[in-house]
Amino acid sequence: MADWGLSGIEEPALVVLSELLTNAVVHARVPWDREIETRFVPYPDGVRIQVDDADEQKPVPCEQAEEGGRGLHVVESLADSWGVSDRNGVGKSVWALLTQSREGWA
- Compare residues 23 and 50 and give the one whose CB is closer to Mg ion: 23
How far is the C-alpha of 106 from the C-alpha of 11, rounded, in Å? Answer: 12
CB distance 94 to 84 below 8 Å: yes
Interacting partner of 28 out of Mg ion, ligand ATP, none (Cβ under 5 to 8 A depending on kind): ligand ATP
Binds 69, which of Mg ion, ligand ATP, none (CB < 5 to 8 A, cut-off by type)?
ligand ATP
CB of 85 to ligand ATP, least distance (A): 12
78 burial type by CB count under 10 A (0-12 exposed, 13-18 middle, 19+ buried): buried
- The least CB distance from residue 66 to ligand ATP, in Å, is 10
